[in-house]
Amino acid sequence: MSIKLRLTLMNFLQFFIWGTWLISLGGYMIQKLGFTGGTVGAVYATMGMASLFMPALLGIVADRWVNSERLLGICHILGAVFLYLASTITDPDQMYWVMLVNSLVFMPTIALNNTVSYNIMGQKKMDVIKDFPPIRVWGTVGFIIAMWVVDLGGWTLSPTQLYIGSIASLFLGVYAFTMPACPPVKTERKRSLVSALGLDALVLFKQQKTAVFFLFSMLLGAALQITNTFGSPFLQDFVKDPRFMDSFAVTHPGILMSVSQMSETLFILAIPFFLKRFGIKTVVLMSMFAWVLRFGLFGIGNPSEGLVFLILSMIVYGIAFDFFNISGSLFIEQETKPEIRASAQGLFMVMTNGIGATVGGLTSGWVVDLFTSADGMKDWPTIWFVFAGYALVIGILFALFFRYKHNPQPAPQK
């Protein structure tokens, strides 16, 4: 098997594991285990908490002491153990702690997967910019296929989804050890914990433009966690209504939700055009108002005559996610000096996937519980309109406070 195919398989499995449970676990915990919205939000917030420090810590380990491919393998083998344990748990407190440990070992693997890919491609004299995107896109394909497997297997409300994730994680853990060696790079300059955490980029908060951007990165990072946590439970709740219980959206929520990931792969290709034509401020505003539509369309949609609104919500997700997460990363790259670019990217990830995701998981759970009646019925339209209002306020404030003048000409290389 060629090295390109081997890397493709590694990226496919990396995101296949995540796709087996990320979208459907919330529905399983609410519908089958009877967990509250706050409990489910807390479980999902563990990913944000882990993202605050674990990728940086294991990045230092990989930089200094342990081969990256071995560290990747160890993390996935441990993840397999904890996903299996999670499949056996019905107590909310136990689920929280087991999924927290799983997050601690899984979230660093996203960066480690990239590190191993880049290292091996460098060894093989491959063009990373040209050759990596076609490899990485198979990660998204793996995520989508995992959602379809769980959905078509009838396991969206079953612990089987965690079994599948555990098996895939164990396979990738062993497979990682067979990859070409990616040893630590011996350099005179040691990467400090402060640098790995992105803390030496805190100087960027002295600049109003980047400080405001980082603040809104945190606020918008919370939005992504909302639909990861409660998108599937929302669709599955329609089973309680006889009018919708046999509809496609209720019987196959994973397939419907996977349209979001399909949209994501398409809108990635549009980012260069929109950034060059409109600039970062307009592109991010498009993302923010796409989040308004994402939540608002959920609020008015249903699995019958309102199915078109649910489908439209899935489609606009591509704009909502890509036009901020990827465009934001490119903006930070352009606005920082070369010596702190890596740290700035780390800080951007902390603000979005760390603080933002944690806040989003916890507060969204509180909102869901607030609009849940004593008999367990959730007022989903109101819940989604609250989230839409949140995104709308963020968009208006961003338009008012983020100062940026777009120059359509290419910026000079630093």
pLDDT digit string, tens, across residues 50-99: 988 888 788 778 877 889 899 999 999 999 999 999 999 999 999 999 99
Q: How many whole angstroms separate alpha carbon 389 and alpha carbon 366?
A: 16
Percentage of the chain lying above the pLDDT 90 cut: 47
Residue 364 CA, distance from chain mean position:
16
Asked if residue 6 has pLDDT above 60, the reply is: yes
Q: How many whole angstroms separate alpha carbon 77 and alpha carbon 54?
A: 17
Asked if residue 223 has pLDDT above 80, the reply is: yes
Q: How many whole angstroms separate alpha carbon 158 and alpha carbon 33?
A: 10
Q: Which of the pair, 236 or 414, is modelled with greater confidence?
A: 236
Mean pLDDT confidence for 356-374: 89
pLDDT digits (tens, 9 = 90+) for 176-195: 999 999 888 665 555 555 66
Task: For residue 40, give both structure tokens.
Answer: 């489910």
pLDDT band at 272 (very low <50, low <70, confident <90, very high): confident
Give the three-state DSSP class for 372.
Answer: strand
Angle (nearest 5°) at CA 12 between 311 and 146: 45
pLDDT of residue 214: 87
pLDDT digits (tens, 9 = 90+) for 245-269: 889 888 888 889 889 988 988 887 7
pLDDT of residue 411: 46
Considering the chain, what is the average pLDDT of its residues? 87
pLDDT of residue 371: 94
pLDDT of residue 346: 65
**Contact call for residues 25 and 149 (beta carbons, < 8 A):** no
Asked if residue 276 has pLDDT above 90, the reply is: no
Q: Which of the pair, 194 or 281, is modelled with greater confidence?
A: 281
pLDDT of residue 71: 94
Q: How many whole angstroms separate alpha carbon 333 and alpha carbon 23?
A: 30
- DSSP string for residues in 301-350: --SSTTHHHHHHHHHHHHHHHHHHHHHHHHHHHHHS-GGGHHHHHHHHHI
Asked if residue 202 has pLDDT above 80, the reply is: no
**How many CB atoms neighbour CB 253 within 10 A?**
28
| Ramachandran area for residue 376 (φ above 0: left; ψ -120 to 50: alpha; else beta) | left
Q: Residue 68: in which H helix or E strand, if any? A: helix 68-87
Q: How many whole angstroms separate alpha carbon 186 and alpha carbon 28?
A: 47
Q: Which of the pair, 43 or 203, is modelled with greater confidence?
A: 43
Task: For residue 231, give both structure tokens.
Answer: 């998108």
Span of 171-175, 266-270, 348-352, 410-414 with lowest mean pLDDT:
410-414
Which distant-in-sequence residues (6+ apart) come within 8 Å of 143 by Cβ?
15, 16, 18, 19, 22, 261
Q: Which of the pair, 371 or 185, is modelled with greater confidence?
A: 371
pLDDT digits (tens, 9 = 90+) for 12-53: 999 999 999 998 999 999 999 999 999 999 999 999 899 888
pLDDT of residue 198: 52
Give the three-state DSSP class for 39.
Answer: helix
Go through the domains of the chain in sequence order and give each one's CATH number.
Answer: 1-182 (1.20.1250.20), 192-414 (1.20.1250.20)
pLDDT of residue 317: 93
pLDDT of residue 412: 46
Q: What is the pTM of this model?
A: 0.80
pLDDT digits (tens, 9 = 90+) for 118-177: 889 888 888 876 787 788 889 889 999 999 999 999 999 999 999 999 999 999 999 999
- DSSP string for residues in 145-160: HHHHHHHHTT-TTSTH
Q: How many whole angstroms separate alpha carbon 58 and alpha carbon 47?
A: 15
Which residue's entry shows tokens 């000079």? 412
pLDDT of residue 148: 94
Q: Which amino acid is at 208?
A: Q
Q: How many whole angstroms separate alpha carbon 147 and alpha carbon 155?
A: 10
Asked if residue 408 has pLDDT above 80, the reply is: no
- How is the chain split among helix, strand and coil, in percent rounded to 5? 80, 0, 20
pLDDT of residue 105: 96
Q: Is 227 exposed, middle or buried (0-12, 13-18, 19+ CB in 10 A)?
A: buried
Most distant CA atoms of the chain, gap in Å: 68
Q: Is 341 exposed, middle or buried (0-12, 13-18, 19+ CB in 10 A)?
A: middle
Q: How many whole angstroms separate alpha carbon 4 and alpha carbon 354?
A: 31
**Contact call for residues 258 and 147 (beta carbons, < 8 A):** yes
